[in-house]
Structure 1
């Protein structure tokens, strides 16, 4: 089984030597997504806007691999300031609804482009039942 490198213009290009995502079998691994609007290159100013944009970028990469936010089994959230956890968490819950995946949230000293949040995900490929 060979991994398939995912690439979509609906999410920002990788800022280093890595793939936006990789599909292997029925799993999609989404690299950490920064809150960069793929069309304008803009970054929202607050953690709520950055969380929303990061999750939109995650969704775009997952869709390129045949998955979606509904099939996410695990996320990792990298947060610049744990004092903003509640603000990030409110948007996160809004995006995932009642079907939330397993998650780790880690406070970090610094993120690329000095953003406030970065989110990565692992999802199953959506199947028709």
Structure 2
């Protein structure tokens, strides 16, 4: 089976040589999402708004793949300041319910466009 490119205008367009997501068989690989407003392609302001926007962008790509957030099995979160870890958990609970996906939270020196957060992951669907 060939790779299927997943693309939606409800999430920011790629700012490099990548696709928003790729589906191969029943696995969907999500590219990293930073907190860009998909309409303006500008970062939203503030860490709380950035966390919300990242999850909204991820959800938009998941829906474009005809999948569910419940299909997300692994989530990687990259933060330029790990002191925001508790806030990520709090906001993540607004989007996810148990059982939560496996997850890593990784402190990094910098992210594209000066973002404070980025997230990627993969899904396994029942198809």
- TM-score grouping bracket, smaller chain normalisation: over 0.9
* Cα distance in 2 between the residues matched to 1:66 and 1:125: 9
Please name the residue that 1:5 is paired with: 5
1:97 CA displacement? 2.4
Residue pairs, 1:10-49, within 5 angstroms: 10-49=10-49
Matched residues in 1 for 2:86 and 2:52: separation?
A: 14
- Structure 1 CA distance, aligned partners of 2:42 and 2:95? 20
**What value does the CA root-mean-square deviation take over the aligned residues?**
1.4
Name structure 1 gaps, 5 residues minimum: none
What is the number of residues matched between the two proteins? 127
Question: What is the Cα deviation at residue 96 of structure 1?
Answer: 0.6
The CA deviation at 1:98 is: 2.6
Match of 2:108 in 1: 108
Q: Partner of 1:66: helix, strand, or coil?
A: coil
CA distance in 2, matches of 1:47, 1:95: 17
Question: If the length of structure 2 is used for normalisation, what is the TM-score?
Answer: 0.93
- Give me the TM-score of the superposition, normalised by structure 1: 0.91
1:54-87 alpha-carbon deviations (Å, 9 max, x no partner): 1111111111212121210000001110011111
Contact 1:27 1:122 in 2 (8 A): yes
C-alpha separation between the residues in 2 aligned to 1:2 and 1:41? 30
Q: What stretches of structure 2 of length at least 5 have no aligned partner?
A: none
Give the C-alpha shift of residue 5 in structure 1. Answer: 1.1
Aligned-pair distance for 1:126? 5.5
- Are residues 120 and 83 of structure 1, via their aligned partners in 2, closer, same or farther at CA, if it must alter by over 3 Å? same
